[in-house]
Structure 1
């Protein structure tokens, strides 16, 4: 099955149901299907070849989703482009991933000149929301209406390339990730297995559609679900949308969950329609997780994945979060291996480790990517011993529950001891004054690396550094307790909302004239 076949399944089930809502505009499945057909006809007439690559550079937008569906219906390869990345990073990726056609929103019109200079392979620029300078054509003029069925122009085989994502560049230059029709099938199947829906979902897209929220919204269309699109995350707007549209499902990174919990209306809002809030992308504070279950309801759904094995390597559904006593049943766990994933813990020599021992989380199964685009060396590096290496340190317990300890490259060696930042961050986040934090190692003549914490206070709060240090020492002991705590109004974050430890680390190591 092709990716577009999943959408068509939803359209057959729910042709008169609302497919997408944005503001006061809504469209049924029949309308969206017709629009995607018209976009596909326009692309084909314009010379878009079977298997050609097309990117959609836009913020959250119903029209952007329709452009993606049009590309897939024309049997093209969808390239996930990030509107929040810098113009230079976008130019690098669009050129690396051999983009033939670029759909671009008017908010990003000023980038087209750079792309024309640095991306010679882009054949056609299509403005998606209105005519703009620099674009070859506006989407409204590209579409070709009609009733004839769009012919299938590729085989639709499982191994056929379906979409190209990128690694985000938080640990080095971004790489293109090749994801096939089979990977998409595994993703949708794993989602449905881990989060069975009582009714067709109403999926709120509040996180960037350029990351997990976009594919998850497309996956929900296979179930005939309704996708509600917000332009960006805003806690108040999220609460209003849940009430107005009776939202059942949404994806949020932990930082967005924290902001939702901090909103003054969260405890009075009617959130009874919610069935699942998926959280992933970074470890969640256990104290905030308990608060989320108390305030938002028993709806929290943990998962672990990465671009190379998207979103569903492991899962812990809401009913497995709490034990009979109402306490967290598996504190800090990201769940057990999902239906279509084989997950293990491996040491550097390729040995599978027993329960309780820390090592790298490795994965096999149909969820794992086909490889890095035009980068066989990097593909081979992450595929040693016949497993995909995630770069995350973790462990599993006797019951098969997995726990992510930290990124392999983020580990701090202080005085000969291994210190995992995520463990220290969990202790710091127990303080109710702390909104978010990052723990890094900095050069130190005595310790080699000293553990330093950078904390972001909640709005209107003042951090008592001495008290926070004392509480952390009591929880973790002296080795893991930060040697210093710095307060920062706002931590640096990636386009996906992840705190950038690497940025904080780089600043402090550069001042010491060292990188290691």
Structure 2
């Protein structure tokens, strides 16, 4: 069988349905603990049977067809994990919303994804009302039948996993929308099989059923991908018992369940290691504390290494590439500054991924030169759903354009300078805020900082540094502290002090929200 060019055409593009990971884990260790939340435990056999029953209900009661999108609005819970695998088993596409989004924002996700069904936690009746969709409630609610009752009615049914191809969608991964409305990145079964394999190879090698994973971030995004990887290796998953994030409780659960792997973001990791309870916490079971979602400032990285030891693993990647661009494994994290330390690196290219720094024409630049981080490989998504304009902007010559700026050194290690949208031009010179923020954070009184460019009649744009301090400090003090550490054109012209920096639903400090707050305070008029 050949294609027109004379090469061999694929005989089949059939791949494993992702729900099979759960079935395989249940076959290997049916009585092992799979999911924990508070006092509730599910074994692998119980979880798999619940997913089977719900998948049967989706197909027979709700007429879910292959490729149908299913929206989910819920905080982390066991039923959310059940629903995810049931949707895949039935051939549907998982469309999780971040539970912190407003009803109007979730209604937009429903419309943009073309969802035909919605799982909605009973705690969010306004979100259910905002979405004109058939509802399945997680918990007792007036807006739809309860997932527990549906599961009980169909228990014992074992529908076969829907047949899927490599390029069949499995997950609509919505971007955070920091530069506009969220876009649905289409993730496929074949892509995600590679991502799971890659995560196990590059981030958490050697996981077994003896390991345990604690979830401290929303399962709707990166933490959900992380947990899919845990299921593939039969690793038990521990969910926080309540929505409230209690650092002392996190450390108690780590000790109780001998947690060995966690996924988090730098803001949460910073909270964990700076909390007083970390001093007495038993963290000896930790093997991999994986952080991603935003660069981690050097001072925070050093504090985490000093507190937890050599267990940090960093990866860089967008939702569109499900994190698979670079990795800085534990053995390359270094707490001490020195000639061998690669300070500020986000690591080297992931296995099976090629990464380039490209100029505006799409040509690769020399090591040390700044350009846009671009990549190709099996982890790159299929494109944005029904958004040809965004697809045209995001791909060039087959390369996915991340929109992040950075450079590569001679050894192939990458350094993120910032988002293209964060860069500003002052007096004709490009200014990258991250470099300035790194320097400001070395001041002992500064906990958090964001540098943004604001209009200026003389220079075009100038930098303002918005800081959160842990002790009294004056603008002049910070300016004097930075004198000699930064070129004059990079020096912020103003230092503002706020009680807290606004953060997105994903725990990120975004420059868009900083500017919106400056406007709301009447400072950019």
Query: TM-score if structure 2 supplies the norm length?
Result: 0.92
Q: Distance in 2 between matches of 1:400 and 1:257?
A: 27
Q: Does the CA contact (< 8 Å) of 1:239 and 1:269 recur in 2? A: yes
432 and 324 in structure 1: CA distance in 2 versus 1, 3 angstrom threshold:
closer
1:294-341 deviation digits (Å, cap 9, x = unpaired): 111101101000011011211011011129988872211111111121
260 and 465 in structure 1: CA distance in 2 versus 1, 3 angstrom threshold:
farther
5 Å-filtered alignment, 1:226-241, equals: 226-230=236-240, 231-232=242-243, 233-241=245-253
- Is the counterpart of residue 471 in structure 1 residue 481 in structure 2? yes
Q: Distance in 1 between matches of 2:74 and 2:445?
A: 36
Of 128, 137, 157, the residue aligned with 2:165 is 157
Q: Distance in 2 between matches of 1:176 and 1:39?
A: 25
Structure 2 runs not aligned, ≥5 long: 1-15
What does residue 11 of structure 1 align with? 26
Of 214, 220, 225, the residue aligned with 1:210 is 220
Q: Does the CA contact (< 8 Å) of 2:301 and 2:335 recur in 1? A: no
- Is the counterpart of residue 57 in structure 1 residue 73 in structure 2? yes
Of 88, 96, 120, the residue aligned with 1:104 is 120
Q: Does the CA contact (< 8 Å) of 1:8 and 1:222 recur in 2? A: no
Q: Does the CA contact (< 8 Å) of 1:343 and 1:362 recur in 2? A: yes
30 and 306 in structure 1: CA distance in 2 versus 1, 3 angstrom threshold:
same
- Is the counterpart of residue 181 in structure 1 residue 189 in structure 2? yes
Q: Does the CA contact (< 8 Å) of 2:367 and 2:409 recur in 1? A: yes
5 Å-filtered alignment, 1:134-283, equals: 134-135=143-144, 137-143=145-151, 144-153=153-162, 155-194=163-202, 195-200=204-209, 201-230=211-240, 231-232=242-243, 233-283=245-295
- Is the counterpart of residue 40 in structure 1 residue 52 in structure 2? no
Q: Does the CA contact (< 8 Å) of 1:258 and 1:435 recur in 2? A: no
1:428 offset after TM fit, Å?
Answer: 1.4
- Is the counterpart of residue 90 in structure 1 residue 106 in structure 2? yes
5 Å-filtered alignment, 1:381-400, equals: 381-400=393-412
Of 71, 80, 86, the residue aligned with 1:70 is 86
5 Å-filtered alignment, 1:107-118, equals: 107-116=123-132
What does residue 119 of structure 1 align with? none
5 Å-filtered alignment, 1:266-305, equals: 266-305=278-317
- Is the counterpart of residue 28 in structure 1 residue 37 in structure 2? no
Q: Distance in 2 between matches of 1:303 and 1:312?
A: 7
372 and 320 in structure 1: CA distance in 2 versus 1, 3 angstrom threshold:
same
Q: Distance in 2 between matches of 1:76 and 1:470?
A: 58
Q: Distance in 1 between matches of 2:222 and 2:446?
A: 26
- Is the counterpart of residue 454 in structure 1 residue 466 in structure 2? yes
Of 495, 502, 505, the residue aligned with 2:512 is 502
Q: Distance in 2 between matches of 1:169 and 1:261?
A: 29
Q: Distance in 2 between matches of 1:347 and 1:267?
A: 46
222 and 327 in structure 1: CA distance in 2 versus 1, 3 angstrom threshold:
farther
Of 484, 494, 503, the residue aligned with 2:494 is 484
1:86 offset after TM fit, Å?
Answer: 1.6
Structure 1 runs not aligned, ≥5 long: 117-121
1:172-223 deviation digits (Å, cap 9, x = unpaired): 1111110001110121011011120354331111111122112211221100
324 and 414 in structure 1: CA distance in 2 versus 1, 3 angstrom threshold:
closer
1:107 counterpart SS class: coil
- Is the counterpart of residue 346 in structure 1 residue 362 in structure 2? no
Q: Does the CA contact (< 8 Å) of 2:17 and 2:161 recur in 1? A: no
Q: Which segment is superposed worse, 426-435 or 252-261? A: 426-435
2:360 counterpart SS class: coil
1:3 counterpart SS class: coil
Q: Which segment is superposed worse, 237-246 or 392-401? A: 237-246
* Number of positions where the alignment pairs a residue of Structure 1 with one of Structure 2: 503
Superposition RMSD in Å? 1.9
1:457 offset after TM fit, Å?
Answer: 2.4
1:463-491 deviation digits (Å, cap 9, x = unpaired): 34332222223322322121111111111
1:71 offset after TM fit, Å?
Answer: 1.1
Q: Does the CA contact (< 8 Å) of 2:95 and 2:173 recur in 1? A: yes
Q: Distance in 2 between matches of 1:149 and 1:89?
A: 35
1:385 offset after TM fit, Å?
Answer: 1.9
Q: Distance in 1 between matches of 2:475 and 2:332?
A: 36
512 and 438 in structure 1: CA distance in 2 versus 1, 3 angstrom threshold:
closer
What does residue 9 of structure 2 align with? none
- Is the counterpart of residue 126 in structure 1 residue 141 in structure 2? no
1:476 counterpart SS class: coil
Q: Distance in 2 between matches of 1:94 and 1:205?
A: 26
1:129 offset after TM fit, Å?
Answer: 1.8
